[in-house]
Amino acid sequence: MTPYPALLDPLLAQLPGATFGTFAPGRVNLIGEHTDYSGLPVLPFAIQLGVAIAGAPRPDDAVLVQNRDGARFPPETISLRELVHRPARGCWVDYVVAGLRLHPPEQGCELLVAGDLPIASGLSSSAALVCAAALLFAPPRFDRLALAERARLAEQYVGTLSGGMDQAASLLGQQGQALCIHFRPLRVELVPVPEHLAIVVADSGVRAEKGGAAQQAYNERVQQCALAASAMGALPGGLLADVPGGQRSARARRLPDPVLAARASFVFAEAERVAEAVAALRTGDLARLGALLDRSHAGLTDDYQVGHPAVDRLVRAAKSAGALGARIVGAGFGGCCIALCRAANASTVAAALQRAGAVAAFPVRPAAGARQFSSGRASS
């Protein structure tokens, strides 16, 4: 039985006349960072934290979007006629609008949003908000694969050239399972995560907002990978996944532009690490999996240049406390790191991370994907 999210209860109580709601989880990406927008695989899982939205009908033709933290996230009222034409404004409501436009409401409504994910930390709070909004008026039996692809495109409304991992992880998550996600077409291979394996998330407190400098730096890397793909022989509009021939990592390193060479060689190596990580999970080789995370972090720091000193400090602290591997997670430029350890050692690693300056350190497990709720708490 999929658990009812406690996050929704205070929203239903606070919003008079609330009759429906949604919950969409964030995600942790074990490995496969910055590969999705090049059409190459990733290995994330949905987590227990996320974003909830409660809804109530209203008699007019407007949508009132509110946040439980109204001082930080001011409300906005949008007419139904304007919803699909509203330009992005660089505010939190953009993400709600991006999702609502996939299944627009047919009558006026009042929405109340809350989340327990640390924002701009690399755990996909923005995609969770888009997915929660997209589900509000979706039919009860919707195609999750199709909606994940549409949600990826929807998030581009806010200016981020999303690759699709975050939306797929939020919508397709399965309890106890990592998701080896392949693209073009979108498909998922379930990989069980053993109970004796612990993943500890540590939040550095350094925010990498999906707007401004962090968004610009992220989009720049998307464009650099596209240029590298073209330089390596992909057809116009092709991705690194479309580069023909073998030994792509070695060929990437020989590109004349050193920046493109570094970006492409990292992406190809990271995609290979995804396949190795799937094999390590299936055989229970935790030491091998930890070494893959370490190599991913080194590549993200050196070749991809998305690291941050505060996160590096946490990675070193995790390793010193006995973690099998650790790395920055998400787009980078701050946010969180993840530490892989044996379950028996998770509390020791978490305590060491907090001593090293983490504003929060907590274990996560693979959780169920996004779902809808009625006032009767039925889920899908």
Residue with tokens 């692809």: 149
- Distance (Å, whole) CA 290 – CA 257: 32
- Model confidence at 374, pLDDT cuts 50, 70, 90, reads confident
The arithmetic mean of pLDDT across residues 112-128, rounded, is 92
- Distance (Å, whole) CA 219 – CA 250: 25
Write out the catalytic residue numbers. 166
Lateral strand order in the sheet of 197-203: 325-328, 336-342, 197-203, 360-364
Residue with tokens 């190459």: 40
Is pLDDT above 90 for 33?
A: yes
Residue 339 contacts residue 349 (beta carbons within 8 Å): yes
- Distance (Å, whole) CA 316 – CA 300: 15
pLDDT of residue 207: 87
Residue 110 contacts residue 126 (beta carbons within 8 Å): no
Pairing mode, if any, of strands 109-115 and 43-57? Answer: antiparallel
What is 57-70 written as a DSSP string?
E-SSSEEEEEESST
What tens digit of pLDDT does each residue of 246-274 get? 899 999 999 999 999 999 999 999 999 99
* Fold that domain 197-364 belongs to in CATH: Alpha-Beta Plaits (3.30.70)
The arithmetic mean of pLDDT across residues 270-289, rounded, is 97
Is pLDDT above 60 for 379?
A: no
In the chain, domain spans: 8-192+368-374, 197-364
pLDDT of residue 213: 75
pLDDT of residue 2: 66
pLDDT of residue 191: 98
Is pLDDT above 60 for 378?
A: no
pLDDT of residue 160: 86
The arithmetic mean of pLDDT across residues 57-69, rounded, is 96
pLDDT of residue 371: 95
Is pLDDT above 90 for 376?
A: no
pLDDT of residue 170: 98
Is pLDDT above 90 for 214?
A: no
361, 363, 365: which is closest to 317 by C-alpha?
A: 361
For the domain made up of 8-192+368-374, the CATH class stated in words is: alpha beta
Residue 114 contacts residue 10 (beta carbons within 8 Å): yes
Share of the chain above pLDDT 70, in %: 97
